[in-house]
Amino acid sequence: MASESSPDPVTTKIMTPISRRAALRSSACAIGLALAGCLDDIPGRSSDGEETPPEDAGELGTPAEGITVTANSRPYPEFEPQIVHIVPGGTVEWLVETGRHDVTAYHADGHGPHRSPEGTEPWGSDRLTGVGSAYEHTFDSEGVYDYVDTQQVCTSHEVAGNVGRVVVGWPDPDSEPAMTEPQSELPSQVAKAITLFNEESRPVLEAGP
């Protein structure tokens, strides 16, 4: 009588403490990589995990840590953008693209009339001549700062209305000299621009962050 063949032995793999830890490490790595991939897709966060500024950073209502304002002479003297919004300690750079310009605060101790926060010093650049000329200023104190281009090339840039505004933080608009009506000694084009600045700035500052 032929003997029945015994079944193949079943091989059982025993997981030792060392192999168990290795498996756990592999699982942890896989989970970490998956999470990293998910984090890359989070809006407002770069691939290295740092937050990226919103696209409208520097516009009214979205203070930025830094922003660049361009200065042009064609077809007319103009700062762009005319109003910027930064955080306290933020920096604004003015960059000449065409023509000759300067950046001068409206301040009682400098180029009047006074349209700067109380207790701040006058500030401004020298003449900026040539494409690529630049000036930057860091604003440590919260407030609203109006400024002007005082250069005269064929015509006065101030008379032409080349003015701008820097809003720093979230000041009370009722306590800011720059938020008052434009003074009578200002050129008419400047007065019109400042009136528009106030109409745009006040509701944003009153609404707050």
Are the C-beta atoms of residues 37 and 177 closer than 8 Å to each other? Answer: no
**How remote is the C-alpha of 161 from its chain's centroid?**
24
Backbone angles phi, psi at 164, to 5 degrees: -150, 175
- The answer regarding whether domain 64-207 maps to CATH 2.60.40.420 reads yes
Q: Is 98 exposed, middle or buried (0-12, 13-18, 19+ CB in 10 A)?
A: middle
pLDDT tens for the chain, 209 residues long, are 544 454 444 444 444 444 444 444 444 444 343 433 433 444 455 555 556 767 778 999 999 999 999 999 988 899 999 999 999 999 999 999 999 999 999 999 999 999 999 999 999 999 999 899 999 999 999 999 999 999 987 779 999 999 999 999 999 999 999 999 999 999 999 999 999 999 999 999 999 99
91-121: pLDDT as tens digits: 999 999 999 999 999 999 999 999 999 999 9
Report the relative pairing of strands 155-156 and 152-153 from DSSP bridges.
antiparallel
**How remote is the C-alpha of 55 from its chain's centroid?**
9
Tell me the domain boundaries of the chain.
17-52, 64-207
73-89: pLDDT as tens digits: 988 899 999 999 999 99
What's this model's pTM, rounded to 2 decimal places?
0.75
CA angle 156, 161, 162 (to 5 degrees): 80
Mean confidence (pLDDT) of the chain:
83
| Cα dihedral 63, 207, 204, 202 sign | negative
